[in-house]
Amino acid sequence: MKLDRRQFLRNGAGMAATLSLGGLPELGCSRGAEPASDATVFRGGVVLPVDEGFSEHSALLIRGNRIAGVGSDEAILAEAGTGARIVDLEGRTVLPGFIEPHMHFLLLAGLGHVEDVGPFAQPTFEACLAALRQIRDAARAQGPEAWVMGRQFDPILLEPARELTTRELDEIAPDRPAFVLNASGHIAYVNSRALDAAGIARDAPDPAGGEFGRQADGTLNGVLYGPSAQIPVLMSNPEIQARMNREFVAAGIEVGETAATLGITTLCDQATGVLSGAAELARYREMYAEGRMKARLRAYLYDFHEAPWRGADVRPGDGDALLRVAGLKLVTDGSNQGFTGRQREPYWTRDTLGLYYIDPPVLRDLVERYAAEGWPLSMHGNGDAAIDSILDAVEHARDRGIDVRALRCRIEHCSILHDDQIARIQELGMGPSFLINHVHYWGHVMRDQVFGPEKVQLLDRCASVERVGIPWVMHSDAPVSPLGSLHKIRVAVARDLWKEPGAVLVPSERVPVEAAIRSITRTAAWQCHSEHEIGSLEAGKLADLVVLESDPRKAEPTAISEIRVSETWMDGRRVFQA
Ligand SMILES: [Zn+2]
C-alpha cells in the first residue's frame, strides 16, 4: 500500500498499515486447535511500556497483532476475558521490541559469511596475516574463481598499528584477488589481482567521493577509501554478486533470525540500493513475500554520486508496517578512527583534516532538492566539520521556506558535537544518532590517537543532548559493531572501555538507564517516522516486544549486556524463545 506523503510525515492516527501474517505459517507459537480467543496475557512480571512517564506494570494484554493494554495482573486478566493464552513471566521484564536505527542489511546478508580477521578475532597483525593465509588455502581448494575475503580489519586497534597493502596481499594471494574490508566499512585493502578484476589501472585518478591510497611514486597501494573506490572492486567478485542477487532472500531471512535472538523487532537499513538501486528494494520485497521475516525493516535509500535512485518510482512512506521506505541517506565524510572523518582542525596524531565525501556546496543543493521533495534525510557526519556542513545545508533548506522540522532530519554517528552544534540541531528539529560502541571499543584510540584528551570530551554526547530535550537514538552500524541492543544500553549508561577495564570515558556524558532504553525504543520509532505503530507498548500499536530474563534498571551498568533475551514477539507472534 502507498501512503500519501503528507500523511506519512504527519503520522496521523488511523493510517497505520499492517501486513497481516494470516494464512502464513506460525512463527514459533503454539499450534494445533483454533484458539478460543485472540488475546494473550503476559502476567507476573515487570512490564515497562516506555510510555511518556516511563510507567511500570505487572501485566500486558495483546489481541492479535496489537497491544490492548497494560495494568495489574487482576485488571488485565479481567479485561482479557475467557480463553486467553497466558504467558507467565515469572518475574521477567517486558519491554517494547528493540529498534536498531542504523545498520547495513545488505552487508550483513551479503558478507555475513566472510571471515572476521579483525582485532576481536586476531589481536595482532601477524595473526591477521596467518588467518588470511588460511582463507587463501580454503579459496584454492574451492577453485580458481574463489577470492580471498576478510572483514573487520582495523589497524588502529592492532598493536602495533599497521595497514594492509598490495605488498602483503600480493604475497599472500599472488594467484587470485584478495579483498579485506575495514571494520568501519569505509576503507578496503586489496591486492593487484583485485584491482585488475575491477579494471583499475595502477595510475588511475581518484574516483568522485573517494580516494586511492598510493605509494611514494604515485601508483596505487591497494588501500581504497570510500564506497566509490571500494564497490567496483567488491562487485567484481562473482560470489558476492550471487549473494546480493539470487541468494539474497535466504541470506536476508537469516539476518532477521539473528535480530530476533537479540530482541530486535525493527531494523533500519541505512544504505538501501547501495549496490543495485531499485533492484535492491525489489529483493527486500521478495524477502517479505516469503512471510518468514522475523523483523520489520525501515529502508533509507542510499544516494551517492551515481544517483542510483534517480528516476525510480519510490516515495517516502511507500510500503507497509513490515517493510517501509523511511528516508534517504547521504554520507558526507568518512570514519574518525580511519582519519577520514572531516574535522575543523587536524587530527591529534596526523596532519590531515580527513575527507568530505560530498563537498559542502553539493550537499547544500542535494539537501534542498530532497527536502523540497519531502524526503526525511539521514546524513552521516562523523567529524565536526562534516556536521557543520550538514547543519549549514539543512539551515539553507529551511531558509528557502522548506519545513525541515517535519522531516526530522538525522545526523548519523554525530560523533563530535560542540555546544554551538547542539543548539543548531535543536533549532532545526534534528536528531543525533550515536554509534555508541565507538566509546567502548575505540574510546582509548579516540582519546590517545584520533582526538586527544580535550576533543575526546565531545565524543557521543548523549547526556548533553538528553539534558536539553533533543530526541537522540543510538545504533550499532552493524557490521561495524555487533548488533546487540543491550550492549548499547550498557555503553550509554557505563561508558566503560574495552581495552581499559574500570576506566570510564567522559563520565559526565553517561545517561540514566531509562533514557538509554527510551532511545532505542520510543525515540527510535519517532526518528524513523514509525511512532504511530511501534516503539512503545501502548494500546493500538503493533505487538512487538522483548522479554528479558531480568530488569536492566536493577543491573550493574556493565552487566546490562549480559542480560539474556528470553523471548521476542513481533506482530503478535513469538519469533524467538531462548
Ligand atoms: Zn553506517
Interval 390-432: pLDDT, tens: 999 999 999 999 999 999 999 999 999 999 999 999 999 999 9
Asked if 496 and 504 count as a contact pair (C-beta separation under 8 A), the reply is yes
Asked if pLDDT for residue 2 goes beyond 70, the answer is no
Q: Compute, in angstroms, the gap from residue 7 CA to the centroid of ligand 1.
A: 28
Asked if 75 and 63 count as a contact pair (C-beta separation under 8 A), the reply is no
CA dist 67 → 10, 122, 296, 319 (Å): 22, 45, 17, 22
Q: Compute, in angstroms, the gap from residue 293 CA to the centroid of ligand 1.
A: 22
Q: Compute, in angstroms, the gap from residue 184 CA to the centroid of ligand 1.
A: 8
d(C-alpha 548, C-alpha 216), whole Å = 55
- Looking at residue 35, its pLDDT comes to 57
Nearest CA to 412 out of 102, 134, 70, 174 is that of 102
d(C-alpha 22, C-alpha 573), whole Å = 11
pLDDT in tens, 92-113: 999 999 999 999 998 888 888 8
Q: Compute, in angstroms, the gap from residue 547 CA to the centroid of ligand 1.
A: 28
Q: Compute, in angstroms, the gap from residue 186 CA to the centroid of ligand 1.
A: 9
pLDDT in tens, 510-531: 999 999 999 999 999 999 999 9
Q: Residue 454 — very low, low, confident or very high, per pLDDT cuts 50/70/90? A: very high
Q: Residue 500 — very low, low, confident or very high, per pLDDT cuts 50/70/90? A: very high
Residues facing residue 573 across a β-bridge: 570
d(C-alpha 164, C-alpha 161), whole Å = 10
Nearest CA to 289 out of 263, 266, 322, 317 is that of 322
Q: Compute, in angstroms, the gap from residue 101 CA to the centroid of ligand 1.
A: 10
d(C-alpha 327, C-alpha 300), whole Å = 5
Chain centroid to CA 541: 23
Give me the long-range contacts of 78-84 (CB less than 8 A, separation at least 24): 80/37, 80/39, 80/41, 81/37, 81/39, 82/36, 82/37, 83/35, 83/36, 83/37, 83/39, 84/37, 84/39, 84/40, 84/41
Nearest CA to 350 out of 170, 156, 186, 561 is that of 156
SS3 of residue 525 by DSSP: helix
- Looking at residue 34, its pLDDT comes to 54
pTM given for the model: 0.88
Helix axes 485-494, 437-445, angle to 10 degrees: 60
Asked if 434 and 473 count as a contact pair (C-beta separation under 8 A), the reply is yes
Q: Give me the residue label for grid cell 555503553.
A: 491
Chain centroid to CA 84: 37
276/530: higher pLDDT: 530
DSSP 469: T
Q: Compute, in angstroms, the gap from residue 104 CA to the centroid of ligand 1.
A: 6
**By CB neighbour count within 10 A (0-12 exposed, 13-18 middle, 19+ buried), where does 169 fall?**
buried
d(C-alpha 190, C-alpha 176), whole Å = 11
Lowest mean pLDDT among 149-163, 172-186, 546-560: 149-163
Asked if 553 and 131 count as a contact pair (C-beta separation under 8 A), the reply is no
H/E run at residue 410: strand 410-413
Average pLDDT over residues 323-346: 95
Q: Compute, in angstroms, the gap from residue 185 CA to the centroid of ligand 1.
A: 8
d(C-alpha 197, C-alpha 239), whole Å = 13
Q: Compute, in angstroms, the gap from residue 411 CA to the centroid of ligand 1.
A: 11
Asked if pLDDT for residue 346 goes beyond 60, the answer is yes
Average pLDDT over residues 444-449: 96
Q: Compute, in angstroms, the gap from residue 226 CA to the centroid of ligand 1.
A: 12
Q: Compute, in angstroms, the gap from residue 413 CA to the centroid of ligand 1.
A: 8
d(C-alpha 409, C-alpha 56), whole Å = 32
Q: Compute, in angstroms, the gap from residue 270 CA to the centroid of ligand 1.
A: 6
Q: Compute, in angstroms, the gap from residue 335 CA to the centroid of ligand 1.
A: 10
DSSP 207: P
Q: Compute, in angstroms, the gap from residue 9 CA to the centroid of ligand 1.
A: 24
- Looking at residue 31, its pLDDT comes to 43
Q: Compute, in angstroms, the gap from residue 477 CA to the centroid of ligand 1.
A: 5
Ligand 1 ion: residues within 5 Å (CB):
270, 477
Residue 287 phi/psi, 5° resolution? -60, -40
Q: Compute, in angstroms, the gap from residue 368 CA to the centroid of ligand 1.
A: 22
Q: What is the mean pLDDT of the chain?
A: 91
Q: Compute, in angstroms, the gap from residue 230 CA to the centroid of ligand 1.
A: 15
Q: Compute, in angstroms, the gap from residue 181 CA to the centroid of ligand 1.
A: 14
Dihedral sign computed on CA atoms, order 120, 126, 129, 130: negative
Q: Compute, in angstroms, the gap from residue 396 CA to the centroid of ligand 1.
A: 25
The x, y and z cell numbers of residue 19, run together, are 501486513
d(C-alpha 46, C-alpha 59), whole Å = 7
100/186: higher pLDDT: 100
Q: Compute, in angstroms, the gap from residue 103 CA to the centroid of ligand 1.
A: 6
Q: Compute, in angstroms, the gap from residue 47 CA to the centroid of ligand 1.
A: 32
Q: Compute, in angstroms, the gap from residue 58 CA to the centroid of ligand 1.
A: 37
Nearest CA to 449 out of 399, 374, 493, 499 is that of 499
Q: Compute, in angstroms, the gap from residue 523 CA to the centroid of ligand 1.
A: 19
- Bond from prior residue into 479 cis (ω within 30 degrees of 0): yes
Asked if 166 and 191 count as a contact pair (C-beta separation under 8 A), the reply is yes
* Residues making up the chain, counted from first to last: 578
Q: Compute, in angstroms, the gap from residue 272 CA to the centroid of ligand 1.
A: 11
Q: Compute, in angstroms, the gap from residue 252 CA to the centroid of ligand 1.
A: 18
Q: Compute, in angstroms, the gap from residue 549 CA to the centroid of ligand 1.
A: 30
Answer left, alpha or beta for residue 20, where phi above 0 means left and psi between -120 and 50 means alpha: beta
Asked if pLDDT for residue 19 goes beyond 50, the answer is no
Average pLDDT over residues 31-56: 87
Nearest CA to 166 out of 111, 118, 214, 218 is that of 214
